[in-house]
Structure 1
Amino acid sequence: MGLRRRMALVVVSVVATPLAVGGCTTERKATVRSVEREVPAPEPKVTVTPADRSRDVPVSAEVTALATGGKIVVVRIADDRGMLVRAERREDGSTWVPTVPLRPRSTYTVEATAVGDSGRTTTRTATFTTTAASTKPQVTSTLYVADGRTYGTAMPVTVGFDPPIAERARAEVQRRLFVTTDPPQPGTWSWVDDGSQVYYRAPDFWRPGTTVGVRAALEGLPIGGNRVGDTDRTATFRIGRQVALEIDNATKQMRVLRDGTVIRRIPVSLGKASTPTSSGRMVIMEKHQRTTFDTRGEPNGGYVVNVADAQRLTWGGEFIHGAPWSVSDQGHRNVSHGCTNVSPADADWLMGVTQVGDLVTVTGTEVRLESGNGWTAWNTSWEQFVKGSALPVPDGLRPAPTATPRPGAVAGGSPTPGPAASVG
């Protein structure tokens, strides 16, 4: 009946039995009396979690409000001083997530109002108290994007964890990782096998000009039972122009592409047979005008060298950098310890063209890039990438491209450093 008041119709019938007299009959018409009686419309039933009078609630708590026989229209959260707590509703409508962590050992009140099918409303109130500041050991998280920076079109949103997240705890952690894009370009998260990193990307590269917002809302989150998350981390960044580098060991040449068009070819010298360069799709992670490679104590290392115009590609220490000592080898033979050597002039030019987050593809070397050795989100097909999610992937993201997109398929800063290993 929509929003009209429900009515119950009660029909009472009284029928007289006709009498037969002689050759004629006299009929008494049956009388039917209809009585309408108004029945009060039911109110919607509202359930709130955390339940009323709950104690020791984690500061990472979310608020759930469910309605039976109606829908939730207002959820209001206030602290013990009466100040409203801002919260955002999840896309699936399941919970409201406070935009900042709740305070330890504090009391909060939730008021949830629902409108029933009949138009009647119900408000449910619940009060809960958060736990004291946790003394459990923390999982240290690292968000590898910085607020206000501009990155390349292959920049994955990357969160690192120390110690790594056990498989049984990944779904709960992933539920607390949020990404927004403007214009919308939805994607999903995918975990590295050992749980040390999780990546977010879309099926295709970011469109230039996209604004990306991320929140790793992990403060106080119970992780695996014996640890908690360290803090909330947020950043909003922008995607810049589309640049990609393609390095071919067969030709010993690098192609530099902007918006899919080759703008320069550069001779290179890659890793020699004993220290080969990795083949695969990598992302520029850091850029240094000057840095020092100190490989003392490392296998096949033992040297210290200062280099200019160095761009990191892997945690293991593969860089693109200026190498004046190998100019005569560049374009002809591999002599490096795993890095991509270019001339000082080319290295200086590259620093002015590339961005952190640009894609670098190396082909034809003796070894494959290892998952997690750098930001390896693009070193797999979309079909494989989505399998790394600890949560169900939305249906709209399941139809996958038939092939990994090439850099030219897209229309048109340095994060927190990781391990300091480097090779020359």
Structure 2
Amino acid sequence: MRAGRNQLIRRTSGPALASRRRLTPVRAVASVLLAGALALTATACTGDGGKGGGPSFQGGSGGEETPKATAAITAPAADAKDVPASTEITFNSKDAVETTVEVKNAAGAAVKGKVGATGTWLPDKTLEYGTTYTATVTATGDDGKPATVTSNFTTMAKPSKQIRVTSFLGDGQTVGVGMPLIVKFDRAIPQDYRDDVQRRMTVQATPAQVGIWRWVSPTEVRYRPKTYWKANTKIFYKIQAGGLPMGGGWYGRSDLTVDLKTGPAVVMTVDNRTKKMTVKKDGKVIKTIPISLGKKSTPSSSGTMVVIEKLKKTVFDTSDDPNPANRYVTDIEYAQRLTWGGEFIHAAPWSVASQGRTNVSHGCVNMSTANASWLFNQTRVGDPIQVKGTERKLENGNGWTDWNMGWDDYVKGSAIPLEDTSPEPTTAPSAEPTATTTG
């Protein structure tokens, strides 16, 4: 049986810059971090030379007393005003075996932040508006003598035009292994700014897994790993949008963090040829269920979907369907939504005789009440289901169809090429790089 389209998911969940510009003269911090590898602390080694127009320390002219290393701050410019509160410090050093960055506010209090692998330092949270900060970069060579450079800058006044960032998921949730991370903006992000925004969107998965963000619209971006999340994965994602320029004089309103996990790997497969659903948990078949799919006039969609919502009791009301033959109002138990168009898994006691034999539904996956109740207690929002062999293909966008396309196609929706978001692994507890993306 197909529910009507009206049965939609009930979700719970500074002066402007004169023209388009990048946040810094150097591209922002590399977007994929490694779990357990290259811990990003306020220390980094660089060897880019003393390029750039910021303050630099070249050492003195006194023989052995002259430090071997040199350092320079390239952005923000010395004594810069109206700097976005999302700014990062970019720097370079030469002949250094260690480079450290320290940032303090006007009161002398240290600001927490991290150094990236590309000569950038990013604060852990948005800087205060209308505040002067001092950045100090110290490069130490193999002679043990430090070369230090210091620069001041002042952040812009709080902007009046701010964009709110929200997450569909919240702290403490446990979701299925096919659950995409969904982030929305309450105003469209121009194409030319999406890479800057994406670089501030970081996902950390334990155990580590490769993944990437994909823009599904100017106001929505989603993240999925290359394959389904591993069972019982811990996921933390952070959107450092506070004070970030987002085009047209608009700035991010605030940062956002979410901490959640996946449950066991429950994966459902429906085969139209056999009229059966196979349910696997952590790779092992735990049940095979007779089902009935959509009849020829109202076929079920073939493709990979995920459970969008779960309703123990609901009412399917299709009284607005243009075809009188498809109009009905029916009480339904153990409903699990798969598409926005109204395809569900649900109990259908009226079609038990057809289940495992022939298709009689309006597009839904019908099963007995006992089987539907059992399955309802096994699954979570985000658990994947693949339907195979029906007359109609699933349309991308009709539900959370992030898994209904190959990895290569999914990557094309990123504002940053995948190779730019995956630094070389060093030492990691897992063989795979972590799913972490400001890109």
What's the TM-score, normalizing by structure 2? 0.72
User: In the alignment, does 2:113 pair up with 1:87?
Assistant: yes
User: In the alignment, does 2:205 pair up with 1:181?
Assistant: yes
Equivalent residue number for residue 280 of structure 1? 303
1:182–1:210 CA contact under 8 A, matched in 2:
yes
Equivalent residue number for residue 235 of structure 2? 212
With over 3 angstroms needed to count, the CA separation of the structure-2 counterparts of 1:257 and 1:227, relative to structure 1, is same
Give the counterpart of 2:146 among 105, 121, 124. 121
C-alpha distance in 2, partners of 1:106/1:235? Answer: 28
- C-alpha displacement of 1:367: 2.5
Residue aligned with 1:171, SS: helix
Superposed CA offset, 1:287-319 (max 9, x none): 232334455656667655443222222334432
Equivalent residue number for residue 48 of structure 2? none
Equivalent residue number for residue 102 of structure 2? 76
1:48–1:126 CA contact under 8 A, matched in 2:
no
Counting only pairs closer than 5 Å after superposition, residues 24-423 of structure 1 correspond to structure 2 as 38=63, 40=66, 44-70=70-96, 73-90=99-116, 92-116=117-141, 118-136=143-161, 138=163, 140-192=164-216, 194-295=217-318, 304-394=329-419
Give the letter aligned to residue 215 of structure 1: K
- C-alpha displacement of 1:173: 1.8
Residue aligned with 2:363, SS: coil
Unaligned runs of 5+ in 1: 1-36, 399-424
C-alpha distance in 2, partners of 1:375/1:177? Answer: 20
- C-alpha displacement of 1:196: 4.8
Give the letter aligned to residue 76 of structure 1: E
Residue aligned with 2:82, SS: strand
Superposed CA offset, 1:237-278 (max 9, x none): 223211110112233221111233322122223334444322
C-alpha distance in 1, partners of 2:395/2:79? Answer: 50
Equivalent residue number for residue 9 of structure 1? none
Unaligned runs of 5+ in 2: 1-61, 424-439
C-alpha distance in 2, partners of 1:127/1:38? Answer: 30
Give the letter aligned to residue 236 of structure 2: G
Superposed CA offset, 1:391-416 (max 9, x none): 12238979xxxxxxxxxxxxxxxxxx
1:48–1:124 CA contact under 8 A, matched in 2:
no
2:101–2:115 CA contact under 8 A, matched in 1:
no
Give the length in aligned residue pairs: 359
Q: Percent identity?
A: 44
Superposed CA offset, 1:327-351 (max 9, x none): 3443344444433222222121111
C-alpha distance in 2, partners of 1:372/1:142? Answer: 20
C-alpha distance in 1, partners of 2:177/2:120? Answer: 32
- C-alpha displacement of 1:214: 0.8
Residue aligned with 2:418, SS: coil
C-alpha distance in 2, partners of 1:125/1:302? Answer: 73
Higher strand share: 1
With over 3 angstroms needed to count, the CA separation of the structure-2 counterparts of 1:95 and 1:360, relative to structure 1, is same
Higher relative contact order structure (alpha carbons within 8 Å, sequence separation ≥ 6)? 2
- C-alpha displacement of 1:230: 4.2
Give the letter aligned to residue 80 of structure 1: A
Give the letter aligned to residue 83 of structure 1: A
Give the letter aligned to residue 44 of structure 1: T
